[in-house]
Amino acid sequence: MANHSAIPQLGLGTFGRTGDNGIQAIELALEIGYRHLDTAQSYNTEQTVGEAVRRSGLARDEVFITTKVADTHLAPADFMPSVRSSLDTIGVDQVDLLLIHWPVPNDVVPFESYMTALKDAQDKGYARLIGVSNFTIDHLERAAKLLGPGSLVTNQVEIHPWLQVPTMRDYARSAGLRLTAYQPLVKGQVAQDDVLKAIANELATTPAAVALAFLMAEGHIIIPASSSRRNLENNRAATALSLSAQHMDAIRQLDRGYRHINPTKSPHWDD
């Protein structure tokens, strides 16, 4: 069984961190103490992630790097060349975690094809760990039958205080699968939530830190994105923030199924 505990619980989302400014933002995050960087073929940030890690002076094994195979690269002829291209672009021999970014609707590309290709990429040494993103429970069950239970270490999905995905959360817990929360702050929108603001005032912190601490207390990996030193430091402070049972219960009441990312290619969500 794969070791999902090897994934640092706090990561940095790198969508939008492109060019020199992107490199500087990622370098800053590494300076502050982030050790988990999340990129993707479709983000155009694989190069900036690699360059930031090289400029940081950190050893390769000190930084956990995740990338994702785009749904446009899942066909058999495209999958492995795209993975090798990602490695070349980042400038590494292996990523720590390789994900399928989106499942292909209606199995236009056979599910079995790209899932076995994902495992083959791991077997070839291109990825230490493998997982998925935006998968439903049905997808996860099909993957477990195909690859074996525990082969996948995470399902990366949108999770935040307003979208707590209880059905997926409970399934993942029962299956021993960690969820990685993307958009954990809904691009800063949660900072306006009155409940989060009240808890933040009580604890002398920020609403964003409260939201992130809640998600981590629920057992999720989180990958908030920012280029601001202040926000990067505040977000990282969430790792040392303890919420009471009353705080947790109050935040659980905020779930209203608000989904921020829902393109037409989305599967039929469980929550």
Q: Residue 241 is encoded by which pair of tokens?
A: 């923030």
- Collapsing DSSP to helix, strand or coil, 140 comes out as helix
**Taking Cα atoms as reference points, which of 157, 243, 151 lies closest to residue 205?**
243
- Collapsing DSSP to helix, strand or coil, 91 comes out as coil
What does the longest C-alpha to C-alpha distance in the chain come to?
55
Q: Is 182 a catalytic residue?
A: no
Q: Are strands 127-133 and 36-38 parallel, antiparallel or unpaired?
A: unpaired
| Residue 101 annotated in ligand binding | yes
> CB within 8 A of 185, min separation 6: which ones?
160, 191, 208, 211, 212, 224
Catalytic residue among 34, 43, 171, 182: 43
Q: Which residues are annotated as a binding site for substrate?
A: 101
- Kindly list the catalytic residues: 43
Binding residues: 101
